[in-house]
Every structure is written in C-alpha cells, then in structure tokens.
Amino acid sequence: VMLLGCGVSSLSFLLQVGVYMGKRDFVDRVDSVEPLVCLFCPLVFVTLSCTFRYGRDDMDVMGIAFRRELYLATRQVYPPLQDREKGIHTRVQAKLLRKLGNNSYPFFFEFPDNLPCSVALQPAPSDVGKQCAVEFEIKAFSAESQDTKVRKRSTVKLMLRKVQYAPEGEGIAPSVETTRDFVMSDKPLHVKASLDKEVYYHGEPIKVTVSVTNNSSKNIKNIILSVDQIANVVLYSNDSYAKCVDIEDSGDSVSPGATLQKVYTMLPLLANNRERRGIALDGKLKHEDTNLASSSIVKDGVLKEVLGIMVSYRVMVKLIVGGSVGLEVPFKLMHAKPDAGKTANVLMFTAAVHICTTAGSLLQKS
C-alpha cells in the first residue's frame, strides 16, 4: 500500500490516495495481453504508461530528454463516470471494495497487444541513476483536469511488469550442421549441433549434442561452446549487443579421420553475470530479484521498431582448427506457464485506489 497526503486549497481537505493491487506482473500472450483491472477529491485520475528510457533523467541535451513514451492511457476515477458496481470485474476487486469501504473506486485498463515486455539493460556497479529500460507504471493523481501539471505530492506511483510465458507445444528441436572443405585436404569436415527442444525455462540446463566427423587432414584442437544473448535496441538506433552469458571450454580434440559425439550442458544464469554491464534483464520491481531477459515473441503485424528492446538467444559451437568453424543454434529462454490452478485469479489484473478525506483544519498542517 502506498499512501500520499496532499493539500487541496479549493476543497479544503487533506487527500490521501492509496493504490491496492492483487499483483504487479501481467502476461503477454502474444495475441493479447491480460487487462489491468484496478480499484481506486477535486478530480482523481489514473494513468497507465509504457516508457522506453535510454538515458538518465538528469541527462538533457539541447532540451531533449533521453526517454520516449510508447503508450499513455488515462482514466477518471473520481467523480466516477459509471455506476460503482459496474466497475467490479474480479473477486479480488470485490473483496477490496468490501474491505476499503465506500471511498474506494474501481477502474479498468485494456493493454494494447503491440507493446513491448518489461526489459532493462544491466548497469555497471559504478553506474548511477536509472538504466536503459522499457518500463510500465501506473500513477494516481489529483488535479483540476488531466492536462494540468501534476505535483509530486499529489501523486502516487507503482512500477508494473509486462511478462511473457513460454508458448504451449514443444516446437521443433533446433539443429544446425555444416561441412567445411580445406585446401590440401581431399575430404571435408562435417559438424552438427542440436538441442533436445526449442524452449528452455530460466534455470533449466541446456543439453547440446555435438557430432563431429573429421575426414579432413586437419587436427581439431578444441571445441568451445557458449550461450549468447542478443539484445536489439530497435527504437532509436537499431543497435545490437551480443553478450556471452555462459561458456564451456571443453578442451576436446578430434584428430584427422576420427569422430566425436558428445553432449555438453550449458546453464545461462544471471547469478554468473551480475557484474556485467549491458546484459538484458526482465523488468525488475523494487526489492525483488529478476533474471536474464526472456526471449521476445512478437505478434504478426506488429512493427518491431516500437518494441524498444528485443531479446533472443543462441548456442555458439566453435571448432578451433587452424582458424575456427562455427555454428549458431537459436533457442528460446522463457518462464514456464503456471498451471491452471495458479492462474485462475490472474486472468484479470486487479487493484484498488482508496481515497480518505479529513476535514478543514488539517489542511494548514499538510
């Protein structure tokens, strides 16, 4: 619960606004996003915003702020524009209304399905201020109109996250192979790398099967595997950042005429990359830990340019043989979808905004 007191001279009362929420993560199902349903005196408004931040707030060049607002929606919750009971959408919301009393007002937001998920680039330990990120925020404020400049003490804010779960179905297990011919060698080198499935969950080991048939006259000195995270900042510059989040230097060699088939285990974790600047993370809420960013799944027809930061993963297999022979095997890294019992109450996003008024004399002390 967040409470804020503010004086309102025109009505002569102390206003306290509290926002109550059933949860702060909501799910992008690619073709739709679960709605944000909330429960919340001149006028009181609530806004839902999505912002892409690519610089600190105190960085200002020629009057240009290093942030771009991707989405903004505003609702008036007081005075209510519809009957109070018609605004109840979930059991959680109904319970909040009973608990908070007659000074509570419900409201509802529908999320567009073309907005990005919450993601942030990890700052270095020495960095200060907010990092490059796609952020969602809900804000309740009192003002004479929604276009009036809002004072900080008349506002209460909560950061939210938009997340995606792994799609249903196994998908096709990725597999990549290549054949390399060498000068002064009559026969080629054949390499194949494959995964046992397309989608892995955060914290789940990734099994990589590597098959090498070395019919060449070259000696393979080493096999190195890595998991790379590719973050494409598509909004303002289309920059691409590839970061290794796990590596395996096997030391395996394959002599001419020999073969090798071996399963390697990779495990990309944020715990092993906390000091590395620029790693993409799932959006982080205050006092909560997070993880490596999930793979981005985009609905058909959505312009990628408005998605802020897009994330993908690949396994790189490199054979050191008088140079290198490499393969890239793409895969998805995501959260497992909770079972039906756990998601029964998450189909709607619920919250409450509670308004308390205290008469006259307190205004002078606020």
Alpha carbon distance 157, 48 (integer Å): 10
Q: Which residue has the higher pLDDT, 201 or 288?
A: 201
Q: How confident is the model at residue 238 (pLDDT cuts 50, 70, 90)?
A: low
Provide the CA 67 distance to its chain's centre, in angstroms: 17
CATH code matching the domain that covers 18-163, chosen among 3.40.190.10, 1.10.1040.10, 3.40.50.1260, 2.60.40.840? 2.60.40.840
The answer on pLDDT for 358 being more than 80 is: no
Residues 233 and 242 sit within 8 Å (Cβ to Cβ): no
Those residues whose C-beta lies under 8 Å from the C-beta of residue 56, and which sit 6 or more positions away, are 66, 128, 129, 130
What is the tens place of the pLDDT at every residue in 110-134? 777 778 888 888 877 776 666 778 8
Which of 80-94, 153-167, 316-330, 345-359 shows the lowest mean pLDDT across its residues? 345-359
Alpha carbon distance 251, 248 (integer Å): 9
The answer on pLDDT for 59 being more than 80 is: no
The pLDDT, as a whole number, for residue 336 is 85
In one-letter notation, the amino acid at residue 277 is R
Residues 142 and 42 sit within 8 Å (Cβ to Cβ): yes
Alpha carbon distance 202, 180 (integer Å): 34
The answer on pLDDT for 192 being more than 70 is: yes
* Maximum mean pLDDT: which of 107-116, 180-189, 280-289: 180-189
Other CB atoms closer than 10 Å to residue 186's CB: what's the count? 9
Residues 352 and 38 sit within 8 Å (Cβ to Cβ): yes
Residue with structure tokens 């597999």?
175
* Maximum mean pLDDT: which of 37-46, 118-127, 240-249: 240-249
**Location of each CATH 2.60.40.840 domain in the chain:** 18-163
The answer on pLDDT for 351 being more than 90 is: no
Quick one: average pLDDT of 337-360?
A: 46
Q: Which residue has the higher pLDDT, 241 or 253?
A: 253
The pLDDT, as a whole number, for residue 313 is 94
Q: Which residue has the higher pLDDT, 335 or 53?
A: 335
The pLDDT, as a whole number, for residue 24 is 67
Quick one: average pLDDT of 316-328?
A: 88
What is the tens place of the pLDDT at every residue in 2-21? 222 222 222 233 445 556 56
Q: How confident is the model at residue 191 (pLDDT cuts 50, 70, 90)?
A: very high
Percentage of the chain exceeding pLDDT 70? 73
The pLDDT, as a whole number, for residue 223 is 93
The pLDDT, as a whole number, for residue 265 is 94
The answer on pLDDT for 100 being more than 80 is: no
**Location of each CATH 2.60.40.640 domain in the chain:** 175-334
Instruction: Note the pTM of the prediction, 2 decimals.
Output: 0.74
Q: How confident is the model at residue 360 (pLDDT cuts 50, 70, 90)?
A: very low
CATH code matching the domain that covers 175-334, chosen among 2.60.40.640, 3.40.190.10, 1.10.10.10, 2.60.40.10? 2.60.40.640
The pLDDT, as a whole number, for residue 9 is 27
Quick one: average pLDDT of 189-201?
A: 92
The pLDDT, as a whole number, for residue 21 is 62
Residue with structure tokens 């739709």?
32
Mean of per-residue pLDDT scores for the chain: 75
The answer on pLDDT for 196 being more than 80 is: yes
